[in-house]
Structure 1
Amino acid sequence: MPQTRNVLFIIIDQLRADCVSGALADHVDLPNLRAFMDDAVTFSRHFSVTNPCGPSRASILTGQYAMNHRSVRNGTPLRHDTPTLASEMRKAGYLPMLFGYTDTSADPRVHHPNDPSVQTYEYPMAGFHEVTEMRLEMSYPWQSHLMNKGYEFEEYWDVYKPVSPTGNAPRLNDPALYSAEDSDTAFLTNSFLGTMPAYHKQSWFAHLTYIRPHPPLVAPSPYNDMYDPASLPLPQRLETPGQEEAQHPFFGPMLQSASAASFVEGFPDLEPTDENIQTLRAVYLGLATEVDHHIGRVVSYLKDSGQYDNTLIVITADHGEMLGDRHAWGKMTVFDAAYHTSLMIRMPGNETRAGSEVALPTESIDITPTILDWVDQKAPNSMDGRSLIPLLRGTPPEDWRAYSFSELDFSDPEGPTIWERTLGTGPSDSSLCILRDARFTLVEFAADLPPMLFDHDNRGELENVADNPELGEDLNRLTREMLRHRMRNMDHTLSLDTITNEGPRRQDRFG
């Protein structure tokens, strides 16, 4: 192994997996990610274990299912004593540098109510050294950068409104008020590239998190109209929203919870016509290409500085995005588009596996144990994920999982959500679990709601076949598997510790 062992962990916010490989891949230019795939191992069945942003990142960075860390919503605190990637990397001697955000809600039991850390859900996770603050709802350094460059805006959210170059009424795909060289993506990348040169003689760990292509959907020129909306495939969907709603009671409030108008600033009455939907999809792809460009700059820096072969590089997304599929927007749903994410890992010394693909199911909770494994830091028993290093080397364990598992909480203790009001559920039963095996997807609810079953050998997510009597045995099998999964993965923080007359002892969870 190299004398210095660096880790670069990149998260792209809300990037659909099929932009890299799938339905949209032929319609978006991502040359740097594709070139990186040629050097890395790609995990093609990788899923976020929960949504939305805050819970997803909590799971990624703690290695825990949401049922264990219980930071299940944006704004739900994460327990202050939860082991995290940052806390464990510090034990390995690394300073966990953060360029961007973790969307962590701090534990109010250890902070005064006036402490800024408990006045926003976007606070950095404890243990990280925040080098550059870049949060969607704040981003004060970037705001200051724009002001210093002479950009004028009344309110911060005005920054995200498209601006007509001719002074006419803005169109959906008009450019942002800032240039590409001053975008949030460029600003964050410049901060990373400006900070890292002095660290080249020591082992370092950097977590670089890009907001884009997360909405609001506005892009600087030339990314705003880089793609022709008419050339893009239409979303995958049934003919009408009503047909979607008829599939299950969950889908009515799902379709009402987010709309195309909520994905862009300045168009409150936007109608979900095919023209508007395709235009928003084109802007989204433009933002993805912008992120790709700047990741290319980061990779070039590592190569030019001689650190590429000393650095474990992990590139993924926190979750996906519906983008009009099933007439839905966002990620508060059950469909794969909202959970399926790309994962690419380049591990030094693993060149013989460069360009290969792993088709076994992997989960977002596997990333932190993988990074810890590579720096020879043992993952604590609280972490539900498993190291991917055996899979990277092409030698997966015989007992590797045969399915992936995700959760979603759709409640809000501050006031009933549209799901709670429509379905008659409360904070304790407004949740669901998703189990995906090679053929089926099972969705089960905490409330007294019927399950969903999707058969991917037939119409897949386009048809809920839970009532098909011919599939009753499969439904029962998957339900039992989901129960067993939850039982096997109950919190192991101290469950393998024993207090004896000789003092405390601990057994390793995964051997």
Structure 2
Amino acid sequence: MGSPLFIFASLAAVVPVLLAVFAGSAAQAATPLAFSPDPQRPSIVWVVSDELQYPLVFDGTGQIRPEFPNLKALQADSTTYTHAYSAANYTDYAVPAMLTGISDIAAQGPDRMQEVRANIGIVPSLASEYSVVMESPLFRFECDTTDCASVGAVDDANFASRMLGFAADSAAIAGRTALARPFSDAFPSLDGKWRDFWSGGDEFGDNAEGNSVGKAISGLRVAEQTAPAAPIFAFWHTIRTHAPWNVDREGNDIYPSRLPIVDDAHMVGSNKAGTYSTPELQSIERRLYANSAVDFDRQLGELIAELKATGRYDNTIIVVTADHGAGITVEADRRIGDTLEQRWTEVAHVPLLVKDPNQTEPATVVAPRSTGQIARTVLNAAGASPTTDLTASPDLSQDLPSGPVFSTVGGGVMTPWTYQGAPEPDPWQQEDLTPANPAYPFAIGIDDSLLGQAVPEGWVAVETDAIDAIPGESTQQLVVINRVPGTCDPSVTTGLVSSAGMVSGSVLWQSANSNAPNRGWAIVPKAESYEFWCTSA
């Protein structure tokens, strides 16, 4: 941030930024709503689990997998939409589109989507009848009455820090869009973010909080205490299931939520581009992904328990969905997919459960739906109708005119893909959802009978250049190894890890054609020291 390019662009940007701040927000005014009289108006709880793909939590029959007991219990009271699809592959497009009722962002055009991305859709319009609670790392609702609660993303500490942030973001936009390469490459990518471009990481910077249900519950309690007779609108946007997936089954950090973990590596087991060069490295990432989803399920259970404890559960519409999914890829970005099949199966296809007020029996809708149809469904449940034209998609009881449209965004260009109903094979293996040996959940590609036993004959100790045990709170330890070139057969990408001479797991080497062919990854039970072994060449 101290480069001449940054300083020049910051100075060029600061005057228009200051004018914009003093002129006030350009956010669109709330759409006026007419509410039907209803002394029993239902509360609304809208949950968005970031990057949670459909096939991770649902099996091939449309049932929640047993690894997710709280989602499974909710499914018994809800309508399951087995073919629900996101509108976009980035949060900053997908969530505002969802809140606004947009199913096809590309059809809206860039100017309209810039306006949509600067707003939170129907939320301000509901505030006249609802206490509003928003817990999100990105979105907030500023209360202007005493009967709502706004938690989650907070304002910058002071005017000076806001100005610095605005100037930095303006510099990033100016440098990335106005300069030709190679000069523009000195500025951070804008894809997937609309602020804090210099912070590193993905949409949420370096270290956003994944265990956020406590803040959502705190907001519910504030709303309950302030206006106990009023219905509540609660929006909980959790990034527990957003990469990097870094927790164990209990939600404890195996390694810090920061990027990169090591030089050139985006996530555990990955190349610089965030892709995986062997099936075993894909497997370790799937297991981490599954752990994050298990912890989201735990947090969801706490939220539902709070609703039941306050007596609000029955007369509440509960929506659980995702902004988009993510693929475990070998070539492309996880939010695009290696193939069209993976794009629809793992990235576009998202969970969607809707518990209507006082619903007690499960139902299933197999017809294709878009997350852009949720907004109208929520308005209907609230007894709200726009007093002006609201260009929102039809509610979830209706078909879209031409099926769901999922758009991939790159460099500000929205590329639409229309749903064709192609088969979506289950990408998950049971051992990645629930490892066979819970004491060694990341032992991959080795004989399970070796675990806890002495290293057998025929294995050769690995000469290492570096061994880095990454700090974490879990009983599982992430270890990153760099071996001396030529120590092991580069065509064999799985080895053993031992502690005190006893096998404790596997080390997974990147492939010979990856960016770091001598880098190995292991997640094993914590110990004082670790040894690494490979088969003789």
TM-score range, shorter chain: 0.5 to 0.7
Separation in 2, partners of 1:34, 1:84: 29
Separation in 2, partners of 1:84, 1:404: 19
State yes or no: 1:301 paired with 2:328: no
| Structure in which a larger fraction of residues adopt strand | 2
Aligned 1:203-218 pairs, distance under 5 A? 203-218=231-246
State yes or no: 1:94 paired with 2:130: yes
CA deviations over 1:201-243 (Å, ceiling 9, x no partner): 21111111111110122115634699xxxxxxxxxxxxxxxxx
Matched residue, 1:434 = 417
Aligned 1:90-489 pairs, distance under 5 A? 90=127, 93-101=129-137, 122=138, 124=140, 131-134=150-153, 184-192=211-219, 194-198=221-225, 199-219=227-247, 222-223=250-251, 261-264=265-268, 272-324=277-329, 327-333=331-337, 334=340, 335-336=343-344, 337-351=346-360, 354-379=361-386, 381-388=389-396, 391=397, 401=401, 403-412=403-412, 430-438=413-421, 440=422, 456=423
How far residue 314 of structure 1 moved from its aligned partner, in angstroms, is: 0.8
CA deviations over 1:224-278 (Å, ceiling 9, x no partner): 699xxxxxxxxxxxxxxxxxxxxxxxxxxxxxxxx99323599969963333321
Larger Rg: 2
Matched residue, 2:168 = none
The 1:432–1:98 alpha-carbon spacing in structure 2 relative to 1, beyond 3 Å, is same
How far residue 183 of structure 1 moved from its aligned partner, in angstroms, is: 5.6
Secondary structure at the aligned position of 2:416 is classed as: strand
Aligned Cα root-mean-square deviation (Å): 4.4
Q: How many residues align?
A: 326
2:310 alignment partner AA: S
Separation in 2, partners of 1:69, 1:263: 34
State yes or no: 1:85 paired with 2:126: no
Matched residue, 1:3 = 40
The 1:342–1:94 alpha-carbon spacing in structure 2 relative to 1, beyond 3 Å, is same
State yes or no: 1:15 paired with 2:52: yes
> Percent identity, aligned pairs only?
19
CA deviations over 1:430-457 (Å, ceiling 9, x no partner): 442211134x5xxxxxxxxxxxxxxx49
User: Is contact 2:251-2:295 (8 Å) kept?
Assistant: yes
Secondary structure at the aligned position of 2:212 is classed as: helix
The 1:124–1:225 alpha-carbon spacing in structure 2 relative to 1, beyond 3 Å, is closer
Matched residue, 2:106 = 67
2:130 alignment partner AA: Y
1:262 alignment partner AA: H
Gaps of 5+ in 1: 102-121, 141-155, 159-176, 227-258, 413-429, 441-455, 462-511
User: Is contact 1:14-1:320 (8 Å) kept?
Assistant: yes
2:300 alignment partner AA: I
The 1:280–1:27 alpha-carbon spacing in structure 2 relative to 1, beyond 3 Å, is farther
Separation in 1, partners of 2:70, 2:400: 31
User: Is contact 1:43-1:362 (8 Å) kept?
Assistant: yes
User: Is contact 2:134-2:141 (8 Å) kept?
Assistant: no
Separation in 2, partners of 1:223, 1:55: 28
User: Is contact 1:72-1:409 (8 Å) kept?
Assistant: no
State yes or no: 1:32 paired with 2:70: yes
Separation in 1, partners of 2:333, 2:414: 19
The 1:69–1:187 alpha-carbon spacing in structure 2 relative to 1, beyond 3 Å, is farther
Separation in 2, partners of 1:94, 1:290: 29
1:100 alignment partner AA: S
User: Is contact 1:59-1:69 (8 Å) kept?
Assistant: no
How far residue 71 of structure 1 moved from its aligned partner, in angstroms, is: 6.0
1:408 alignment partner AA: T
Separation in 2, partners of 1:72, 1:31: 43
Separation in 2, partners of 1:224, 1:81: 34
Separation in 1, partners of 2:223, 2:249: 28
The 1:378–1:318 alpha-carbon spacing in structure 2 relative to 1, beyond 3 Å, is same
Separation in 1, partners of 2:157, 2:45: 22
Secondary structure at the aligned position of 2:385 is classed as: coil
How far residue 293 of structure 1 moved from its aligned partner, in angstroms, is: 0.6
CA deviations over 1:94-118 (Å, ceiling 9, x no partner): 24321114xxxxxxxxxxxxxxxxx
How far residue 39 of structure 1 moved from its aligned partner, in angstroms, is: 0.5
| Structure in which a larger fraction of residues adopt helix | 1
Separation in 1, partners of 2:408, 2:141: 21
TM-score (norm 1): 0.54
User: Is contact 1:406-1:433 (8 Å) kept?
Assistant: yes
2:95 alignment partner AA: R
The 1:327–1:265 alpha-carbon spacing in structure 2 relative to 1, beyond 3 Å, is closer
Matched residue, 2:432 = none
User: Is contact 2:96-2:116 (8 Å) kept?
Assistant: no
Matched residue, 2:450 = none
